[in-house]
Structure 1
Amino acid sequence: MLKINKRTKLAVMITAITMTSSTAVVQAAGFQLKEQSAEGQGNSFAGQTAKAVDASTIFFNPAGMTRIKGNHVQSNLSFIRPSADYSHKSNSSAGGGAILNRTTGVDGGSSALVPAAYALWDYSDDIKLGISINAPFGLSTEYDEDWIGAQYNVFSEIKTINFAPSIAYRVNDQLSIGGNIQFQKIEGKLSNINFVPGAVLSTLTADDTGLGYSFGFLYEYSDTGRVGFNYRSKIKHTLKGDLSTPDSASENLNFDAHADLTLPAVVSVGLYQEVSDKWTLLADIAWTDWSELDELNVIRDSDGSTRSTTVYNWDDTIFAAIGANYQFNEKLQLKFGIAYDEGAANDADRTAGIPDATRYWASIGASYKINDQATLNAGYSHIKAKKAKINENHKLGNLGGGTEFSGEFDSNIDILSIGFDYKF
């Protein structure tokens, strides 16, 4: 009989997780992405910090790994379909008004596929090791080049990928602790119309790598209930790249550049409570330090001058979710959840690149245990955002013959997530 030692098992799991996440972060919608687990999607991610029911706990609270028996690999894929319909209110134009004049049929939403993958090694009863690959932040908005706000934004994209080796330790029968190191790659791309005179498309492309960490604890106060806490650190980046304008030879529109960006810390607390053989109640609350995003300055490398400034003035946010699971039979579990997702942007400084606003979630889902080794998860969420006012004027500095405008965005998001967990 072929014997597989622990080191070989770990190598197999690393290979599997790499294969399942080979398309990691092709594109992302929304700046903070909660879509890291199909199992949690159906609950609007209520209780995710305390659940610890599968390998995705590596992302939400690594301490929860101590509850997982056996070695696991898991792959998740979420299809995100957003819409951001723009309604025009008013505008005042200089030289660019005749060019950037479309105000109807404007929708900046851009669909995306967001994967997440995990591998968990059951090293011993008290020690668990894990690896996760996630896209915790991302955005993608795209507009036509003739829309009224094209001088501010035609295309915006931020892509991140996190690779996190993790460890968890069971201190005693009730308390577990865990943590990981976050290796993060970020890429950004921003396009807008400039006037030189005449309208030309300029694109800023830049990337960076950064380092962060996460730690948490899980406290099991009874056989049927537990609470969890997790802290995920901020990660500082200096994105380096260049501004390129193919249709212009101007040195002011073609140069190497850099920009500082800090992705925020996140603190979450979760509750898991079985109330009967059939029903489990779930709750989660999370705070995100979005006040880190004050403004984005693009600096020309050659002379250190600031070439553009985009003001955000974002506020810290709260995400709160409640949900329930219903055990229909031994194989099938049904999931429900709602959530309040506070927006970070304010009406005075909101941008078309990130038309952020407070959102409300409603979700359903299911987990189906195929056999003792394999589980299939699926979840669907509909998210409705409050109408988001926008007033683009001075935030890019000198307009240089462009357009000031005001209006509002009406946004909706539909998310379908599918995941597969395999134990061996």
Structure 2
Amino acid sequence: MTRVRIRALAVVGTVAAMGAATGAQAGAFGLREQSAQGVGVAFAGSASGAAGVSSIFWNPATVTMRPGFNSEQSLTFVNLSGEIRPTVGTAPFLAPFGDSGEIGQGAVLPSGATSYQLTDRLYVGIQTGAPYGLVTKPRPDWAGSIYGRSSRIFSLSFNPVIGYKVNDWLSVGVGANVEYFRLTLRQAIPVPGISPAFYPPAFIKGESWSAGWTAGATITPWEGTVFGVGYRSSVHHDIEGSFALPTFGQQVTANLNTPEKLSVGLTQALNPVTRINFGFEWDNWSRLGDIAITSRQFGVPVTSLALNFKDAYFYSVGLEYDWSPNLTVRGGFGYDDGPIDTSNRSVRLPDGDRYVASVGASYRWSDKLVLNASYAHVFLGRNRIVAGPGQNYNVANIPFAAIADGSADVVSVGFRYAWDSPAALAPAPLVRKY
């Protein structure tokens, strides 16, 4: 691994650790909260239309499921809570500085989708949202400050799609995914001979615009059953930015490929007022592999980052019941076998496998307006963090060990509005959803 010039400045370990956290942030902060309706069923059946118009995010072919001109908007508050407590194995001169305090930060995620019927078979639409994000921020001077002080990820995507109803039982869709990605990471720099309370700060930041594509299909073999499959391609980001130490700064670049996503959904009507939804998602986080941080000035690699993420799998089931012609209630449960384990867990994101329980409801205010509200709780177990010599995360061979606890509360509200009278354009969909 080439470390020219940077080695002379004795900051190789710092740059490597900060870059590694960049990849971990992008991997572990994938967001599904694109639909208030979808939150209520733990995103079960999102690829088969159970997430409303915003199902476009998972499967562009769902744009054909609602005749006429429809818009949907959602606003989701994610309240992440977590704490990291150092344990035996942490360097003795760091341990007295104690735990992280509350690292979680609340975030509001807007998202929306619109579908428009051009002909009896041809539809267009667009979905917007934040596929990656959130923030963690421990106390500035804690035992793990050399491995992370604050981390911020912001993203925004625009997903225009076109869908075509091949016949009464098959629809297909394709689209583009234009994505903006920005990050800022901060940490302390260990300096021999001074107290960790006075370690100077360092940061790395960068941003990128790029694009990918999406495709999918829905199959309605008979009335009351919808099966959907959707695919979102990887987006290749050439991130340009800078890192800075107290006495030195440099422009850098990094190549980051977001994971492909495969979504499968099944919606089955049990009777005229009850539907069950099943969902499965695969995210190819293992494709990140090694990420190089390169000096723009000298055109050589600064370091190579072995993130060693594993693929993620999400399983969910949800139930919807039409309590009355105007009120639908729903609930769901999901299990997320995520990309983070002890081998690649960092203080920036002490993530692990997740369990999600959710409830929600939709109220038809009028023939044109439907209101949605949902709540979900994300359960995280106690997760072990190990950093230092021989580990994926290593700053100046200083050992750090800890136990992390975390959870999240998700509150989502939204509405769907029909701009016209679709009954005049096409028959009502076979599976009615509120």
Pick the aligned partner of 2:267 from 239, 263, 272: 272
Name the structure 2 match of 1:43: 41
Name the structure 2 match of 1:241: 241
* Higher alpha-carbon deviation: 106-115 or 373-382: 106-115
* Aligned mates of 1:87, 1:38 — CA distance in 2: 34
* Aligned mates of 1:397, 1:168 — CA distance in 2: 45
Name the structure 2 match of 1:106: 101
Name the structure 2 match of 1:14: none
Q: Return closer, same or farther for 1:46/1:92 CA change in 2, 3 Å cut-off.
A: closer
Q: Return closer, same or farther for 1:211/1:105 CA change in 2, 3 Å cut-off.
A: closer
Q: Return closer, same or farther for 1:64/1:275 CA change in 2, 3 Å cut-off.
A: same
Q: Return closer, same or farther for 1:162/1:174 CA change in 2, 3 Å cut-off.
A: same
Which residues in structure 2 correspond to 1:116-265 (within 5 Å)?
116-196=111-191, 199-245=199-245, 248-249=246-247, 251=248, 254-265=249-260
Pick the aligned partner of 1:399 from 383, 395, 402: 395
Q: Return closer, same or farther for 1:104/1:296 CA change in 2, 3 Å cut-off.
A: same
Contact 1:185 1:210 survives alignment (8 Å): yes
Q: Return closer, same or farther for 1:116/1:360 CA change in 2, 3 Å cut-off.
A: same
What's the CA shift string for 1:366-415, capped at 9, x where partnerless?
01111110010011001101221100114588734x74211121111100
Q: SS where residue 55 of structure 1 aligns?
A: helix
* Aligned mates of 1:84, 1:41 — CA distance in 2: 21
What's the CA shift string for 1:332-374, capped at 9, x where partnerless?
0000100010121121221111222000010000011111100
Q: Return closer, same or farther for 1:321/1:277 CA change in 2, 3 Å cut-off.
A: same
Which residues in structure 2 correspond to 1:49-88 (within 5 Å)?
49-51=47-49, 54-88=52-86
* Aligned mates of 2:77, 2:107 — CA distance in 1: 6
Contact 1:143 1:154 survives alignment (8 Å): yes
Q: What is the CA distance between 1:130 and its match in structure 2?
A: 0.6
* Aligned mates of 1:118, 1:323 — CA distance in 2: 22
* Aligned mates of 1:309, 1:187 — CA distance in 2: 20
Name the structure 1 match of 2:328: 333
Q: Return structure 1 stretches of 4+ with deviation > 3 angstroms.
A: 27-30, 91-94, 195-198, 304-311, 394-400
Unaligned runs of 5+ in 1: 1-26
Name the structure 2 match of 1:10: none
| Aligned AA (2:212) | G
* Aligned mates of 2:220, 2:307 — CA distance in 1: 41
Q: SS where residue 146 of structure 2 aligns?
A: coil
Q: Return closer, same or farther for 1:47/1:399 CA change in 2, 3 Å cut-off.
A: closer
| Aligned AA (2:222) | S
Q: SS where residue 147 of structure 2 aligns?
A: coil
Q: SS where residue 30 of structure 2 aligns?
A: coil
Give the TM-score taking structure 1 as reference length.
0.87
Contact 1:38 1:378 survives alignment (8 Å): yes
Contact 1:88 1:104 survives alignment (8 Å): yes
RMSD: 2.1
What's the CA shift string for 1:169-222, capped at 9, x where partnerless?
000000000011011111011111113565111111100111101100000011
Q: SS where residue 56 of structure 1 aligns?
A: helix
* Aligned mates of 2:51, 2:253 — CA distance in 1: 42
Q: Return closer, same or farther for 1:144/1:291 CA change in 2, 3 Å cut-off.
A: same
Which residues in structure 2 correspond to 1:375-386 (within 5 Å)?
375-386=370-381
Unaligned runs of 5+ in 2: 1-24, 420-434
Contact 1:180 1:213 survives alignment (8 Å): yes
* Aligned mates of 2:282, 2:333 — CA distance in 1: 17
Name the structure 2 match of 1:291: 286
What's the CA shift string for 1:286-315, capped at 9, x where partnerless?
111010233444322222444455542110
Contact 1:224 1:274 survives alignment (8 Å): yes
Q: Return closer, same or farther for 1:74/1:374 CA change in 2, 3 Å cut-off.
A: same
Q: SS where residue 367 of structure 1 aligns?
A: strand
* Aligned mates of 1:204, 1:412 — CA distance in 2: 27
Contact 1:233 1:265 survives alignment (8 Å): yes
Q: Return closer, same or farther for 1:227/1:34 CA change in 2, 3 Å cut-off.
A: same
| Aligned AA (1:82) | L
Q: What is the CA distance between 1:101 and its match in structure 2?
A: 4.1
Q: SS where residue 399 of structure 2 aligns?
A: strand
What's the CA shift string for 1:226-246, capped at 9, x where partnerless?
10000110111121011123x
| Aligned AA (1:291) | S
Contact 1:266 1:288 survives alignment (8 Å): yes
* Aligned mates of 1:365, 1:29 — CA distance in 2: 28
Q: Return closer, same or farther for 1:77/1:398 CA change in 2, 3 Å cut-off.
A: closer
Q: What is the CA distance between 1:84 and its match in structure 2?
A: 1.6
Contact 1:52 1:64 survives alignment (8 Å): no
Q: What is the CA distance between 1:30 and its match in structure 2?
A: 5.5
* Aligned mates of 1:406, 1:275 — CA distance in 2: 50
Q: Return closer, same or farther for 1:295/1:139 CA change in 2, 3 Å cut-off.
A: farther
Give the TM-score taking structure 2 as reference length.
0.85
Pick the aligned partner of 2:31 from 30, 33, 42: 33
Contact 1:61 1:215 survives alignment (8 Å): yes
Q: What is the CA distance between 1:125 and its match in structure 2?
A: 1.6
Contact 2:100 2:142 survives alignment (8 Å): no
